[in-house]
Structure 1
């Protein structure tokens, strides 16, 4: 089993995500989480998914699209770290991504399919990362981060947003 990242392996901002991930095998967790998230979100109606919980907040469709986009970006970062990338990677403007994507024009089924494809791709990538690459450090936003930290950030980011959905949207 691969070990959890130390808090020194990622910027402090990400602690709010990493701390949400339960102990255990991260690959097993990501597999299980993907299935559970899909089952949970599949119960929504199109009408549910088109609602925001307050003015200026994202709709559920936008949240789901954001989850996919963030996992794409994080999986690329994980790939870059694992493969020894030396260039500092840039951040992502989540508001720009969501406003440019027009997620509300897609069906809930399309968004959930995309989220599932992204999770499958992330798990496939994880299977190619050996033990040396698992602890390799790269740079994002001029801050050091390890491959394994990114795997935990992906899982914790989804947990964070699922809590927001449960608390504010449903």
Structure 2
């Protein structure tokens, strides 16, 4: 059985190169930028997960995803490099998630102005990726 990480990696690597920098509307991200955004978002949400699971009650600010994508220059990278980074980040997230004690899953904190549990953050990480992969299939391919 293939993992979601394997499926997403194979999917991204299988996209024709001419499609990787296509924008379906003027200010929409390219597929490479979406891939980079998924990675950035997972890093940020994994950090939120760490802090909340460990009981940190400091409110965690949001971030400007448009600015992150703008300065990251994802279009200058080969898709294999983006996929390699995705796999490394996902593996780190999975390793950490598997180490969280069961008693910590309902721990809550404030992120981007909203109360959220450690468990919910795991669902957000996975769901965010699924959302963007579906968007690529619907709008770009």
User: TM-score, with normalisation over the residues of structure 1?
Assistant: 0.80
Matched residue of 2:89: which SS? helix
Residue aligning to 2:15: 44
Match among 128, 136, 156 for residue 99 of structure 2? 128
Count of matched residue pairs = 141
Residue aligning to 2:31: 60
Unpaired runs of 5+ residues, structure 1, are 1-30
- 1:99 and 2:70 aligned: yes
Runs of 4+ in 1 over 3 A off after TM superposition: none
CA distance in 1, matches of 2:53, 2:3: 23
Residue aligning to 2:42: 71
CA distance in 2, matches of 1:143, 1:169: 32
Residue aligning to 2:89: 118
Greater RCO (Cα-Cα under 8 Å, separation 6 or more):
1
CA distance in 2, matches of 1:70, 1:132: 25
Task: Give the drift of 1:132.
Answer: 1.1
Asked if structure 2 preserves the Cα contact closer than 8 Å seen for 1:46 and 1:107, the reply is no
Write the deviation string for residues 33-87 of structure 1: whole angstroms up to 9, x where unpaired: 1111111111013322111122111111100000000000000001111111110
Task: Give the drift of 1:142.
Answer: 2.5
User: TM-score, with normalisation over the residues of structure 2?
Assistant: 0.95
Task: Give the drift of 1:111.
Answer: 0.5
CA distance in 2, matches of 1:168, 1:41: 15
Matched residue of 1:85: which SS? coil
